[in-house]
Amino acid sequence: MSYQSGNFSAGYPGAQASYSYGRSLGLVLWAAVGAVFFGAIVTVIGLAFLPTISIPMRQNRPLISTLSFGAGALVLLLVLLFVVWRNQFKVMLDGSQVTIVKAFRQVGRFDARQAVVTSHVLKQSTNGIPTSTTRTLIIQQNGLEQRFVCKQFSRKTFSEMVARLRSFAPVFAETGSPMANPEPVQQFVPQVFRLDPDALRGRIRALLIVASIALLVAVISGIMVFNGVGLDSDASLPLMLVLAITGALALGLFIALIPLARLRSSTPRQLAVDPHGIGIDDQYFAFAALNRVQATPSNYGINQRNKLRLQGSDGRNQEYTLGINQQSGRLVFAEYGAFIAALQAATATRPGLLIMDLQ
């Protein structure tokens, strides 16, 4: 888990509470393990390389050991110093005053009520395998922009920090610009949004047809092979290849149908937002009974699943899928951006309740 602490005072939570957000302890420990690994590599290289320099050096084993372990220890200390000191980063809130500390010195200070707070998350991958994620806090104030890379911040801590900072100056979901006159909760007009879970039916039907055809071909090929048809002819090898390929294809497609069917079943048909809570189909969740409302940002990228998570004060969690961001085709929830904007307006007087899931 990431380092996060809070000192809560009575009164308006956004103005009185103090918070401190820091690096994930797990990621820091992982970096420390990496430092030990690099130190060990340098030591092994020294033990293997130094004896090849000269015959006197080869005969002086104590010197070889001293130099090798010394070099390894030096590398270990340098990397640990970089991890503990150079990468140290903390964001502290005292009321609306924000102080940013890097390498144990202050590098930024501003009033969250006078700043526009946004963020940028860059995911890097190699051959489809995620390798790293860079989370950047962006502060715009008096025409100037500052960017702070939040190294070793966990997804949860970074999302909560950005939500807390943005709660002082509510923003439009699409533009990211501050609201000149945020609408009071009493004047917020309840809004109803309709979703179309059946938009996934076409994709499910297409996969099911292709999977059924592949399975049928695999069954026919299997019957021919196991009945001995063509085993002694030139057609035996092609039949076995067809059986393997179509069988694997059918299995893969049927496996792919499972999450798609779950996605359709977890998608509600109607959402309603009013000043006091959110309605999902025939259920109603009052904001007063929720500790957290977590949602995927509306402009978070193509093929990103939009999710809504509700954490109740009793510890129970509810999760809903609200479609997928896509450029073409039939959309499950075309008004997702408007829904996020309505949710932000409805929770404007409840700082920290709504959190954008900055994955």
Question: What does the pLDDT read at residue 259?
Answer: 73
Beta-bridge partner residues of 292: 311
Cα 245 to Cα 182, 229, 350, distances in angstroms: 59, 19, 56
C-alpha torsion angle, residues 327, 329, 333, 336 (rounded to 10): 10
* CA pair distance 271, 117, nearest whole angstrom: 28
Mean pLDDT to the nearest integer, 27-41:
82
Q: Measure the CA–CA gap between 42 and 243, rounded to whole angstroms.
A: 52
Flag whether pLDDT at 113 surpasses 80: yes
CB 313 within 8 A of CB 290: yes
The confidence band for 332, taking pLDDT boundaries of 50, 70 and 90, is: confident
User: pLDDT of 45-93, one tens digit each?
Assistant: 888 888 888 777 777 888 888 888 888 889 888 888 877 777 778 888 8
Tokens coding 131: 């390798």
Pick the closest to residue 288 from 273, 276, 274, 271 (CA basis): 276
Decide: helix, strand or coil at residue 155. Answer: helix
| Sheet strands (E) in 247-339 | 270-274, 277-280, 283-286, 290-295, 305-312, 317-324
Give residue 261's pLDDT: 74
Look at residue 174 in the predicted model and tell me its pLDDT. 40
> What pLDDT shows up at residue 234?
57
pLDDT at position 175 is 41
Note the pLDDT of residue 214. 82
Q: What is the pLDDT of residues 219-254, one digit of tens each?
A: 887 777 777 655 555 556 777 777 788 888 888 888
CB 131, CB 122: distance < 8 Å: no
Per-residue model confidence as pLDDT tens digits over 253-275: 888 777 777 777 778 888 999 88
Q: How sure is the predictor about 320, in pLDDT bands with cuts at 50, 70 and 90?
A: confident
Residue 177: its pLDDT value, please?
Answer: 46
pLDDT at 194: 87
- Parse the chain into domains and list their residue ranges: 2-166, 185-195+267-356, 198-265
The pLDDT of residue 181: 46
Q: What CA–CA distance (Å, rounded) separates 123 from 136?
A: 11
pLDDT of residue 357: 79
Residue 203's pLDDT is 74
Residue-wise pLDDT for 183-215, tens only, equals: 444 566 788 888 887 777 777 778 888 888 888
CATH of span 185-195+267-356: 2.30.29.30
pLDDT higher at 186 or 164:
164
% of the chain with per-residue pLDDT over 90: 0
Q: Give the residue, 21 or 143, on which the prediction is more confident.
A: 21
**Whole-number mean pLDDT of the chain?**
77
Residue 301: what pLDDT? 60
Residue-level pLDDT at 12: 37
Residue 81 CB partners (closer than 8 Å, separation 6+)? none
Q: Between 216 and 262, whose confidence is greater? A: 216
